[in-house]
Each structure stands twice: as structure tokens, then as C-alpha cells.
Structure 1
Amino acid sequence: MPSARSTTVRDLRRSNRARTLWELYLNGPLTYQGVARAAGVSLATVSNVMSDLVRTGCVAEVGSEESNGGRPRGLFHINPDFGHVIGVDVGETAVMVELFDLGMRVRASHRSVTEDARLSPDDLVDHVIEGIDAVVAEAGIDEESILGVGVGVPGLVERVPVDAAAGDPDTPCPGDTEAVLYGQSIGWGDVPIERMLRARTSLPLLVDNGANTLGQAERWFGAARGSDNAVVVLLGSGVGASIARGGEGGASFAGELGHTTVVAGGKQCVCGARGCLEAYAGADAIVATYDRLTERDQATSPSDVEDRMRAILAADDSDPAAAQAIDELVDYLGAGLGTIVNLFTPDRIVLGGWLGDALGQGLLERIHAAIGRTALARPFERVASVPAALGTDAVALGAATLPVAEFLGSGGVERVLPLHGSATA
């Protein structure tokens, strides 16, 4: 058995490696001196850690900078070719899978769409596995180079003990947990999503809410970068949010913003409750309002909803039904986000998702003004409303950061470990 002292030394070494990698990843390229200042460790410690990371190929010298009177200092960054990660965006009717190097450059992508109104859990797994196989084949890489697969899903994600889920795997280790998806708003009960995926692939897996993966992408690389307290909103058919504190390396959690009540006893929501924000400000709801006002047959397919929503946003003043539908979007979304401002006092609200990306600056300004009609004056003074910066593929990008974060936090010495007893492909 290792002594307490040896355990402490090993943990300290791992911690120093992790802090070094985090700084290089989020703020690199950096010199040894820059890493020491940013990570709060001694130059001697950084020298030892960096020498090891360069030797293993995890970190590479990418250039140099002039020093005051001395020889140029080397600049170092994470080696983008050291490994690969996969990000999966599970929408309600489509699945996007993208493969990235460690510089988060897309090396392969695959999108599959179902003709069904909504995916079933089994369909979801089929589409995810199909996408993973497709991007690995397209990139022409060995699966051993894949550090992990991150999956962003709609709904609440909780980790539960393995023996609490149906169909125990063979000989689970004590304390093992797995992700279970609660998709009430899309008609699913508790779905053992991680177990279902692990039965089809041996690649390491991490599962989180899709709004949360969008939030992590925008915090690391996009419009929420530099914010200590941001709310990233995913606007599409429904409404989701990621509430984050602590900047790029801080913690976040998914908030079911779309299922907060804005009208007591109001419209029926897909979750079964009445008066939810999603029943008024999601694309499905806005299009349904427009179809009712214009006495059109209601859009039934997701592609029809998206096409009509974009047409509503593009309509001019000669279309009063479109103007009324947009007024409802502004008013109700402003009310919901105003409540978020009062609860969490963020310094930044980022609007993303395909609908958020389509709003335009004029509507964004109207929504910000509507937030001010609900939020308390003091916290509202401190918040800015900004568009997302990373486009409609940001959920997959954010999902890919899940295994990256695990890899950095381990000090770059291990992949995300699969659940003990998981099946092989």
C-alpha cells in the first residue's frame, strides 16, 4: 500500500500537470514563464511538468517570443494531433456527429435526419452509432486516438448507481454510476441512455444536457468567454439554458428554462404542465400562433416549422400576423429571462440555437428591453444580451469539450474510462 506521503506527491504532480494543461489549452500559446504566472506555480515546477508533457507529445513548441535582452523564449501549446474527440448533438429529430482534433478543428462530420415527428430512444442510439462510425471512417483514424465521445441530449441528465438501472452489466464496480436521461418534454420517461450507447460501442462516453454543452462551447471559445457569470440560452423548437459561474474553467448546470411558468394556467405545454415559457416562446409555439392567426394548416414536420419560423422573422410590416407572433416571442422570452436575471444576476445572456442565431440585432435589442421590464433594475443594469458566436453546430462542439475537460483534468495521462464491464463494439 502506498504511503500517505507518496500519495500526496503523486496527487500534487497530477494537479500541477492539470493546471498547466488547462492554462495552455484555454490561454495558449504560452512561455514557461507565462504558464507559471497563470497557473500560480513555480518556474522550476513548470519546467519539470512541461519537459514531461513535451516528451510524451501532449504539448508542442509552436514558436517563440522576444525577451528583454535574452534569447527568445519558446511558446508552447497543446499538440492538436495528440488525440481526437467526438461531439454529438442529439436534436429532437436529427443527430449531428463531429470529430475534432485537440485544437477543436473539425476533421469529419455526419448529420442524420429522421422523418418521424420525434426520435425514439432506440432511433437516437442508432443515429449516434451510425454517426460515430461515419466520422471515424471519414477521418481515417485509429479508434485508439479517440480520447472520448461527448453526447449532448435534450432533457435532464442524472447519474445514478448502476444497480439502480435496469439490466445490470456484468460485475459492476462498487460506486459505478451511469447517465440516465429524463426527457419528459419529448415524451420519454427515464432512458438509460449511457447504457444503451455503451452496448453498441467501446469508446469512452460522457453524456450531458445539450443546452449545457452549448454553454460550455460558448464559455470556452465564444460569446460567454471572459464572463464569470453567464446564462447561455438554447432557442429552437423549445427553450433551454446553461447557467455558468466561474469563467471558462468554472462549473455550470442545465436549467429547464422552457418549463418555468410564465402564465398561470396558460397554454398546454408538451411537458404536460400549463403556462410554460416553451409553450409561448419556442419555435413550435410561435409558428402555431402564426398558423392560427392566418388560418393555415398547422405545420407538423420540424422542417416545416423551421421554414415558417424563418419566414415569420423575415416578414415585413405588411404581415400583421407575423408581427403579433414576434411580439409574443419578445414579451414572453423577456419575461422568462427577466426572472433568470433576478435569480442568478448574470453579467451576460447569450442567445444561441438555430432560432437564437436567426433573431438578428434588432430583435435581440427588443428582447433585452423586454428583460428590463421584468428584471429588477440593479441586476438588469449589469447584464448584457449578446448573440452566440459559434453557430448552429455549437452543441456538438460543446459536447466534444466534455472528454477534453476530463483529459485536461487528469493531467493528460488518461482517456475517459469506460464503465467497468461495458460491451465492446
Structure 2
Amino acid sequence: MDGRRTTVRDMRRSNRSVLLTSIYRDGPLSRFELGHQTSLSAASVSNLVGELLDEGVVEEAGSVESDGGRPRVLLRVAPAFGYVVGAEVGETRVRVELFDLAMNQLATKVYPIETPKPDPALVVKYVLAGLSEVLAQAGIAEDRVLGLGVAVAGVVEGPADAVVHAQTLGWDAVPLGALLAAKTDIPIQVDNGANTLGQAEMWFGAGRGATDAVVALVGSGVGAALVTGGTSYRGTRSSAGEWGHTTIMYGGRRCRCGSDGCLEAYVGAEGVLDRHRLAGGSEVSFGADEEAAFIALLDSVDSSEAAAKVVEDTIGYLGAGFANLVNLFNPERIVLGGWSGLLLGERYLPELRAATARHALRQPYAQVSIELCELGRDAVAMGAATLPILRLLRDGGTTSRAPRNLTARAR
């Protein structure tokens, strides 16, 4: 008898999840459209939508004319049902952002990092300080926050109670999830930064509509989010997507991970600037503004043979890396993001596509489009904030942190 009750309860939660996900990803939608999209009966849609409305998870968002009948009421996830926070632990900074459920950015706090290998305790300090700061900026109480998502470099085993293996940061099995959870009651989730960027772009940006895609993050480091059949592919223990540490040159440049010839050593911003320095360009220390140095390098292409050669080679290496993705995964779309990836792509996207074509097999290359991220250079933190939203959708809108019955009280 208990098993039967559990099965019914789980099925109801699953149906709520299907409805809520459709509303969030494709809304505003009418009840009629929800029935068509989810294949749930009209009665089930009506009952479950009624629950979600009463609980304040969903709200009415206008209406549209129907074919000969009454106007159809549109539904959306209520932006103020709760709030989410995303943090990006980058190579040179920790960025913390607060969003409502419509992903409107409400507050931001950035902490510079002066070392390429920050102590985990410093990262925890900055993430939690940023959490307090953005809530204070927006006047949001902590109990209204559904969760804090944190994006980091490296392999993440989690995301709840996450352990981070990040050789480039000097982190070996750092229990980052537990370190953060010990100092806040807000639910914590941790994931790789390329994965969070990928989720944001697949939900809201250049990946929308694709079922087989790669979202490439190129900044100081390099990574990729792999999506196959509409689902993120993570491998046996969540380490899939370490594209930056595939070998592009046997016996090549030493990478920050300790191996030789990694793609990251050739197309990551730190590696590009170092190659420029070795070619006779200006030397840039890590403490300097890496983004400004990268922009200066791109700006000097017309006046400096060394800069022109480094940029030309970088496009070639990146095109070869893209071709490897094309040949291995046969994606319908490759989306280039990350701050230095976008700086390159905004100026040299046609050249990058041509470089990819030179190295890829003709047939799979003919089936892929190469596009730029649409959410900007800071989309990693936004993607991290989608981690608690994904959990909310999977749980069918059930959460212990946001106030219940908001709609009823508003009436």
C-alpha cells in the first residue's frame, strides 16, 4: 500500500515537473498549449496548474484569442516566487549575481583575484561575501533564495556536496560544496563553468532549439559543455567536456595542467598572451588586466607582425579544436563563448569557420553551424544561477525555502 502511494505521489510530482518545465522553457503558454506539448489530459493540466497557481509558483500573464471561443489565459513561472544566485569562480575574479526567476539580473558583486591559484578558503570567503552583498543591494531576505549555484574550473563531482579537482587552480579533491554549505543555510550546487555556460546558452541563448550541440568556453582556460539528444553529457564521473586538455600538439607547449600540447596552452588567453610575449610582443604579468592585454593584442594586428602571426595561429588552433569536436560528436551547432572566445569570434568568425572546415570531414562539417554566444561574456554566473532553477523544475515547484500561497495572499 505504501509503495502504491509513493508511486502515485512520484507520478504527480513528475507531471508537475513536466508542466512547470514547459511553462518555464517555452512560456507563456495556455492550458490548451500545455496539454498539446506534454500529452497530459485536459483534466490533469487543469488540476496541476490550479495547484501551481495556488502555491504562487505560476501566475497568469495575459491572454490570447482562441478560435471562436473565450480568450485563452497565458501562464508563466512567477518571477518573484523566489530568487537565485550564481557565482563564477574565474581565473582573475569571483563574480556573484542575483536573479529573479525570469533571469532578470538584480544585483552584482565582483572580487578581483590576484593569484592564478587561489586558496579555497579565499574563494569561499568571496562567494559568501558576494552572496550577502547582492541580497543587501536588492533588499532580498535570505529565506527567499532558492539556491546558490557556483561555477568553477576543473572536474566537479557533485553538484550537491561537490568535490572539485582543478589542477590549473592547484586544487586536489577540494570539498567546495561542503565548505560553502557549512556557512550558509541556502542550498548549494557546484558545477563546471563550461557546463553552466552551456546550460544558460541552451535555455536562453544561441543553443535554443538544438538537440546536439557543443558550447565552448574560451577564456583564460578552455572547456566545453556537450549536449546530446537534448541532454547534457557528463561521462562516468562528470568529467566529460575537458576539451581544453585534449592534445593539439604532440610534445607541444606546457599546459597549466602539467601536460604538454593541450589545446588550452594554445587558445586560452593566458597561453595566447604568453605566445605573444615569446614572439617579441609586450610581456603581461598575471596581475595585470588580462582582458585589456588581450584586446590590445587584437588591436595591434595591423601594426605588428608578431601580433598578426599569434592571432592567425590562434584561429588555426581553435579551428582545429572545433574540427575535432565536429568529427567526434557530429553536433548540429557549436556555440563559442567565454570572454576571449567572444573577443576573437566577434572579429574573426568567418576565418574561424574556414579554419574548422580545413580540418573537419566535409560531411559532418556541412551539418554544423558555428555561432557566438548570445548572453555575453559574463554568462557563466548566469548559468550557475540556473542550477537551483533546474532543481525547482525537476521537483515540480516544490521547495521549502520560498513562501507558499503567494497568489492566495495577494488576493
TM-score (norm: length of structure 2): 0.93
SS of 1:216's equivalent? helix
Unaligned runs of 5+ in 1: 161-176, 418-425
Residue of structure 2 in register with 1:251 after alignment: 232
Structure 1 residues 238 and 23, CA gap change in structure 2 (3 angstroms):
same
* 1:35 equivalent in alignment to 2:27: no
Please report how far the alpha carbon of residue 345 of structure 1 lies from its aligned counterpart in structure 2 after TM superposition.
Answer: 0.7
Q: How does 1:367-382 map to 2 (within 5 A)?
A: 367-382=352-367
SS of 1:224's equivalent? coil
What is the number of residues matched between the two proteins? 397
Residues of 2 paired with 1:211 and 1:39: CA distance? 30
SS of 1:185's equivalent? helix
Residues of 1 paired with 2:222 and 2:357: CA distance? 19
Structure 1 residues 89 and 226, CA gap change in structure 2 (3 angstroms):
same
Residues of 2 paired with 1:77 and 1:68: CA distance? 22
Could you report, residue by residue, the CA deviation over 1:67-89 in whole angstroms, capped at 9, with x for unpaired residues? Answer: 12211111111110111111111
2:271 corresponds, among 285, 288, 298, to 285
Q: How does 1:388-399 map to 2 (within 5 A)?
A: 388-399=373-384
Q: How does 1:34-183 map to 2 (within 5 A)?
A: 34-159=33-158, 178-183=161-166
* 1:219 equivalent in alignment to 2:190: no
SS of 1:255's equivalent? coil
Please report how far the alpha carbon of residue 317 of structure 1 lies from its aligned counterpart in structure 2 after TM superposition.
Answer: 2.6
Residues of 2 paired with 1:234 and 1:275: CA distance? 18
1:194 corresponds, among 177, 188, 191, to 177
Could you report, residue by residue, the CA deviation over 1:228-282 in whole angstroms, capped at 9, with x for unpaired residues? Answer: 11111111111111111233xx324351111100111111111111011111111
1:408 corresponds, among 387, 393, 400, to 393
Residue of structure 1 in register with 2:337 after alignment: 352
Q: Partner amino acid for 1:338? A: A
Unaligned runs of 5+ in 2: 235-239, 403-411
SS of 2:161's equivalent? strand
Structure 1 residues 269 and 232, CA gap change in structure 2 (3 angstroms):
same
Asked if the contact 2:281–2:307 (Cα under 8 Å) also holds between the matched residues in 1, the reply is no
Q: Partner amino acid for 2:272? A: I
Asked if the contact 2:177–2:190 (Cα under 8 Å) also holds between the matched residues in 1, the reply is yes
Could you report, residue by residue, the CA deviation over 1:145-183 in whole angstroms, capped at 9, with x for unpaired residues? Answer: 1111111011100139xxxxxxxxxxxxxxxx7210001
Q: Partner amino acid for 1:269? A: C
Residue of structure 2 in register with 1:207 after alignment: 190
Please report how far the alpha carbon of residue 186 of structure 1 lies from its aligned counterpart in structure 2 after TM superposition.
Answer: 2.1
Please report how far the alpha carbon of residue 222 of structure 1 lies from its aligned counterpart in structure 2 after TM superposition.
Answer: 0.2
TM-score (norm: length of structure 1): 0.90
The CA RMSD measured in Å over matched residues stands at 1.7
1:299 corresponds, among 278, 284, 288, to 284
Residues of 1 paired with 2:287 and 2:248: CA distance? 25
Asked if the contact 1:91–1:154 (Cα under 8 Å) also holds between the matched residues in 2, the reply is yes
Asked if the contact 1:152–1:213 (Cα under 8 Å) also holds between the matched residues in 2, the reply is yes
SS of 1:178's equivalent? coil
Residues of 2 paired with 1:92 and 1:215: CA distance? 18
Please report how far the alpha carbon of residue 302 of structure 1 lies from its aligned counterpart in structure 2 after TM superposition.
Answer: 4.9
Structure 1 residues 63 and 321, CA gap change in structure 2 (3 angstroms):
same
Residue of structure 1 in register with 2:300 after alignment: 315
* 1:228 equivalent in alignment to 2:211: yes
Compare 33-42 and 304-313 and name the one that shifted more: 304-313
Residues of 2 paired with 1:40 and 1:17: CA distance? 13
Structure 1 residues 316 and 140, CA gap change in structure 2 (3 angstroms):
same
Please report how far the alpha carbon of residue 313 of structure 1 lies from its aligned counterpart in structure 2 after TM superposition.
Answer: 1.5
Could you report, residue by residue, the CA deviation over 1:187-211 in whole angstroms, capped at 9, with x for unpaired residues? Answer: 2212111111112211100100001
Asked if the contact 1:180–1:193 (Cα under 8 Å) also holds between the matched residues in 2, the reply is yes
Q: Partner amino acid for 1:39? A: T
1:325 corresponds, among 310, 323, 327, to 310
Residues of 1 paired with 2:97 and 2:25: CA distance? 21
Asked if the contact 1:107–1:139 (Cα under 8 Å) also holds between the matched residues in 2, the reply is yes
Asked if the contact 2:91–2:113 (Cα under 8 Å) also holds between the matched residues in 1, the reply is no
Residues of 2 paired with 1:306 and 1:103: CA distance? 30
Asked if the contact 1:204–1:415 (Cα under 8 Å) also holds between the matched residues in 2, the reply is no
Structure 1 residues 362 and 187, CA gap change in structure 2 (3 angstroms):
same
Could you report, residue by residue, the CA deviation over 1:23-63 in whole angstroms, capped at 9, with x for unpaired residues? Answer: 00000001100011111111111000001111111111110
Residues of 1 paired with 2:352 and 2:122: CA distance? 36
Moved segments of 4+, more than 6 Å: none
SS of 1:81's equivalent? coil
Please report how far the alpha carbon of residue 321 of structure 1 lies from its aligned counterpart in structure 2 after TM superposition.
Answer: 0.8
Residue of structure 2 in register with 1:422 after alignment: none
Residues of 2 paired with 1:107 and 1:184: CA distance? 33
Residues of 2 paired with 1:94 and 1:69: CA distance? 57
SS of 2:284's equivalent? coil
Sequence identity percentage: 47
Q: Partner amino acid for 1:127? A: Y
